[in-house]
Structure 1
């Protein structure tokens, strides 16, 4: 278990710690435009003073700053894939150089247009002053953006490490129980034991996989495999009610999200009651999001084998949901008359992981 965790940490360092900010998104462009306008106001006030501020001068400065900002962003966005393959210091210097070249070009081009399309001379000292101002401001801004990007990447890496740790805390419990169930069948029904070994292999593969998200269909199949093992172990004591609709093909869920809830339902329900009990699993997806529910009957208080719950499995699932979705996912626990219910709702807009599509599916 330790070796795969170290390999996953190495992959995060290589894939996630990108220094180049993503200037191709609408959000980034909006922030660049706002910053450019604020800079234009600052430069105009600094050169003319607030009392003598001319709207015409502000408009010219604003146009020049916007040309430089958007032109540089467009070039960096177009070359992003190539720049990310270079050493960090080289990519940083290239982006810095592109910004200064855009400043010189648009400064000279603006003078050329304003003076009658080449009828007047270009003031190269003014161009040089614009490049110098851009060198100071761009240096500070790019440094800030790169540090911010690195901080976000490190936070993503820490988030994934946290999710992996929570998942690993869920793994051993059900794996050992499953192996004990299979061992009891080897002598009496080897064919059935072989089929259960295949189910257990799927569960091992999911538990050991370095992935955060899987398709909803895959997650439900893993839960079904676990229930087949438990059904044979408990026999008629376990009554299953499987009310699951076919999930959308593009719907993803956190890996091993549902299985711990089903395990707890069996452990505190049918397995804890000499007369057995019912476990109900329900899943549906609509325009509002994905809905999961696991409900189990509760053993009578008089049962000698009543087991106190430590709620570790529920806490782990709740923490994973919070890490993936924040406030867009809710886990609700209800204890009704003779029943215990756990419900999960994931909003439609957040059904995919905030970590993006960088994780490979099981």
Structure 2
């Protein structure tokens, strides 16, 4: 018969899964337009404006009558339209993401058109004031129509680029989630084996293991992206505590972690699978057990991770076969996050097995994840 103590953590896990599913439904829609306040986006807009000014001057005056003064005036007018429009769309970007695409597109074009008409009207009025001539409505309408066409083309290009970026991010997220889903059942099965071995020997420790597993699963199910290294270390220590219940004094750990690394971000569920391999294919297969050493330090613009553990003598082929899927999975997840900006090496060195990993340094995110709350 299942005791209330063991049923209660299972209910917690089910509740956590329901909460995460609800959060995924209520998550914000992807942005409608790129972040026009970024330096790269502003530089691209300014460059496009300069190229447009050059095309307009060459189309009107030709190369023989080309005037740098006229180019400067046209360029100034275009930039007076581009920069305020970019600032306005940047402020509207969160609201536009919550609207249907057609309505968001119409509002974006209306905002740019309002800036365009204001700038063109001020320019025509200033020219009429300086030349003491009446306001040229036909020229104002013609210039405004030309500007509206160019604005529509640029907005359409920005929209297509952002939708392509959203699609790539969605595909990347789905790929990472699929890779991550292969790790969680593997860890679950091994943890259940540890639990089964303790039930008959020490029921009280088995109950504590169920509670630890509940908290651990809440953390592992919460995020599949980048998380602070401090959370990964807490998750790894909880896993080793669970294994210590099964292996006792046979499992020894040594942590060599440089100061100030806790807020650096790494892919979630990175350390636990590596430590799991070190326990299952190393320490657990040795009658006398052994020590797992974890080293974390900052290198030249990279985070250096080394995990070193003992292995039984003469089983290098078995070790490689048993670790092949896990190591390949980790490499694929790292490639999805970092491309080719990471290095991963694993192999036997005498009677020990060493995993060496170098990741680009990632600045911490401002949000507080559900996983951090679960480990608190």
TM-score by length of 1: 0.87
CA distance in 2, matches of 1:45, 1:167: 56
CA shift in 2, pair 1:42/1:358, >3 Å: farther
Is the contact between residue 329 and residue 344 of structure 1 (CA under 8 Å) also seen in structure 2? Answer: yes
Is the contact between residue 254 and residue 294 of structure 2 (CA under 8 Å) also seen in structure 1? Answer: yes
Give the equivalent residue in structure 2 for 1:232. 245
* Number of aligned residues: 359
Describe the SS at the equivalent of 1:335: strand
Q: CA deviation at 1:116?
A: 3.9
Describe the SS at the equivalent of 2:31: coil
Give the alignment partner of residue 109 of structure 1, picking from 122, 126, 141: 122
CA distance in 1, matches of 2:341, 2:319: 35
Is the contact between residue 29 and residue 97 of structure 2 (CA under 8 Å) also seen in structure 1? Answer: no
Higher helix share: 2
- Bigger mean CA deviation after superposition, 197-206 or 233-242: 233-242
Q: Flag structure 2 segments of 5+ consecutive residues without an equivalent.
A: 1-12
RMSD across aligned positions (CA): 3.1
Is the contact between residue 220 and residue 371 of structure 2 (CA under 8 Å) also seen in structure 1? Answer: no
CA shift in 2, pair 1:8/1:133, >3 Å: farther
Give the equivalent residue in structure 1 for 2:210. 197
Give the equivalent residue in structure 2 for 1:291. 304
Is the contact between residue 273 and residue 306 of structure 1 (CA under 8 Å) also seen in structure 2? Answer: no
CA distance in 1, matches of 2:79, 2:318: 73
CA distance in 2, matches of 1:57, 1:167: 59
Is the contact between residue 293 and residue 343 of structure 1 (CA under 8 Å) also seen in structure 2? Answer: yes
Is the contact between residue 41 and residue 58 of structure 1 (CA under 8 Å) also seen in structure 2? Answer: yes
Q: CA deviation at 1:34?
A: 0.2
Give the alignment partner of residue 53 of structure 1, picking from 66, 85, 88: 66
CA distance in 2, matches of 1:252, 1:171: 20
CA shift in 2, pair 1:143/1:100, >3 Å: same
Alignment of 1:339-354 (within 5 A): 339-348=352-361, 350-352=362-364
Q: CA deviation at 1:283?
A: 2.3
TM-score by length of 2: 0.84
Q: Flag structure 1 segments of 5+ consecutive residues without an equivalent.
A: none
Describe the SS at the equivalent of 2:133: coil
CA distance in 2, matches of 1:306, 1:38: 60
Give the alignment partner of residue 268 of structure 2, picking from 255, 262, 265: 255
Q: CA deviation at 1:315?
A: 1.3
